[in-house]
Structure formats: structure tokens, C-alpha cells
Amino acid sequence: MIGRTQGKRLFAGLAALGLALTAVGPAAAQTAPTLSGGWAAGPGATGANTIVGRIDTPRPRQNISAGANLLVSGWAADTTAAGWAGISGVEVWSGTKDKGTKLATGSVGLARADVGEALGSGFTNSGFSAVVPASAVQGLTAGAQTINVYVLTPGKGQYVRPVAVNVQAVTALTYPNDPIVTITKPQDGTAITQFQRNSKFTFTGFALDRNPITNPASQTLGPGCSGCAGATGALGTQARGAGIQGIIANIDSPTATPGDNSPLGLFGTLCTSCIYGIPLVSNAGFVNTPGRGAPSIVTRNYGSQYDFSGWSVSLNPELLSPGWHTLYVTAVSSITGKRSTTSTTFNVLDKTHLKIQP
């Protein structure tokens, strides 16, 4: 039980966090939750309601896309629990459990240092998180909807808290096959000698997604390029984005082997700093160089907003055995989350070859 002094500290901490407590009283049978207040009694709830917490995401009346996964996260705790948060599970539902549809089952016991500071160390692991897949979000009717988050306790039943969201209708993509990803160096069949200046060979290409941005706040377009304006300033003060979150490069396999910690640098992992690289044509001649005003003669075919859609990633060829290898490059769209992969085959020559062979 919580003593008088500890109870005062509890409520003071909650006030500091700006949290609302559910009124203490007998728990009723399952009722439809309201949009105000805290956690309401749900199925099997017994005794006094001592559940506190909040939903951090999504925020009330947040616009959510029916074509993307939805993260539901926050924290919940039973103030009478000893040594832990007292929450054994979390579920996300459309409607109530007796009439609705379950959208996702999440994880509990996640670290929340802020809650631990306010309520005591026993409540540090009070966070929860669940991901509603896009396929489930698409099943919701477009417009204003209410989703319900249920937290489960081991002996006091379930409690529920609603959050109102606005489901945006799914619209057909203008370019359903994007993103586009191309390798410009090395071209297919090129020989690469292990004898390289600075022991580095740079793979280059470009990637872009032509679909329109729908949420600039989350669909980032890559790092800025303060020198991309050029002498005339015609391209603006930063590189205009190409709708690409980053690229992933792999050697001899479309995907990285799980647990592979080989010294291939950024290979096998998403590289957001690799975009705005330097694609080459026929292995010679810069055509897309960040910091220079000249647009790419390749990507300009798609529009001036893709002038700086290049990517580049480097590798020491000595890490590869002499012989034929295949480079796979995957582009990840920041607009749709979709991935596209392309590849090229090249021949690695040993260090006795001082020049790239034709």
C-alpha cells in the first residue's frame, strides 16, 4: 500500500508531468470509453481504479495515413504495484473488445526514465509500444475514428483509454513502381583493380521517387547541401530532395546476412548520408556534384527537383577476393517506404593490375 507521504509525492510527480488521473472508485463492467479522462475500467476490471498513464502517439486528432504503419506508444502503471509497473500486456482495438476489431498486440515493460523519476524507480519500465500494420489501418473507415488502447493487469482486469484520429483516404500513387535506383559506376562488366588511390573505390548512382510529398514533417528529403546554390543561386540554398531516405549496398547478395559484422563499412545498413553523391557516366566526368551549380544531365530528365539525387558509397577492393562480384543497391523511399533494388556485376583484379581493364 502507498503511505501518506509517498502518495503526496506520487500526485506531485503526476502534476509535474501534466497527467490526468482516473477518478478512484468501483470499477464497472466494460463500458464504451469516452474521449476525456484517463484509463477507464474495461473487461474484468475489479476494485478501485489505480491505473495512471498516457498515450504519447498518436496525438489526439492526428492525421494518419491508411497506407502506412501506425505507431501507438505511451506508458501505463498500476500505482499499487510493488517493484514493477503492474502492466502485463497492451492491445490496440478499433471499437471496444465486445464489438470491435483488434488491430495490434504490443510490448510492455519499456524503459521510461521520466516516469521513474516522477513515480519511483519501480515504475521506470512502464512504457508500452504497438505497431498497427498498414493493412489494418486500411480497414478503418476514412475520416474521424477512435482507436482504443487496452492495458492488461495480472489480477485487476483490463483498462482502456481512447484516442481520436483522422484516417486519411488511400489515394493511388502517381508512380506506383517508384523509387527508381540506378548504378552509374561501375557499369556492368567493368574490371576494378585492388590497386586504388587511398585504398578506396567509390560506387555511385542516383535514386529518386517521383510521387508527391504528403507529409513534409516526416517524409524527409535527405541532408541539406549549403553549397548547392552555385554561382547564380538558381538551385536554391539547399539541395532539393529526391524523395529518398537512403540507400543500402550489399555485395554478392541482395540483402545482408543477419549478424554479419564484416568490415564492409556502410554496406548492409541504411545510409542516409550516402545520398547527394557523385554519379559518373562511363566511369568518367562528374555529372551530379553537391556544392556545384551544374545539375545532373541524367537526373534532369526527371525534373529539376532531382538535380541532386545522386548517391555514393565507398569500399576498399582489397576486402573482396579477385574475381567476379555483384553489387546490389536498394533505395528506400521517404514518401512511401517502398524499396527498389538494382544490381551490376564487376570483376576484381589483384594489385598487380595497376589500371582498370576494359
Query: One digit per residue, pLDDT tens: the chain, 358 residues?
Result: 444 444 444 444 444 444 333 333 333 333 333 333 489 999 999 999 999 999 999 999 999 887 778 899 999 999 999 999 999 999 999 999 988 999 999 999 999 999 999 999 999 999 999 999 888 888 888 899 999 999 999 989 999 999 999 998 777 788 999 999 999 889 899 999 999 888 889 898 889 888 887 666 555 444 455 545 443 444 433 445 678 888 899 998 888 766 565 656 668 888 877 887 777 655 555 665 555 545 566 777 887 777 778 888 888 899 899 999 999 999 988 888 789 999 999 999 998 887 765 4
Closest CA to 179 of 136, 241, 242: 242
b/e code 232-245 from CB counts within 10 Å (16+ = b): eeebeebbbbbbbb
In order of start, what are the domains of the chain with their CATH numbers?
A: 4-168 (2.60.40.650), 180-349 (2.60.40.10)
What's the pLDDT score for residue 107?
95
**pTM more than 0.85:** no
The letter for the amino acid at 222 is G
Q: Which helix (H) or strand (E) holds 116?
A: helix 113-119
Cβ proximity of 79 and 2 under 8 Å: yes
- CA neighbor of 214 nearest in space, from 69, 62, 64, 61: 64
Q: Which amino acid is it at 12?
A: A
| Residue 310 pLDDT | 84
Q: Please give the grid coordinates belonging to residue 242.
A: 529526391
> Residue 285 has what pLDDT?
59
Where does 79-197 show beta strands of DSSP type E?
89-94, 101-105, 107-110, 127-132, 143-152, 158-168, 180-185, 190-193
What gap in Å lies between CA 202 and CA 281, rounded to an integer? 13
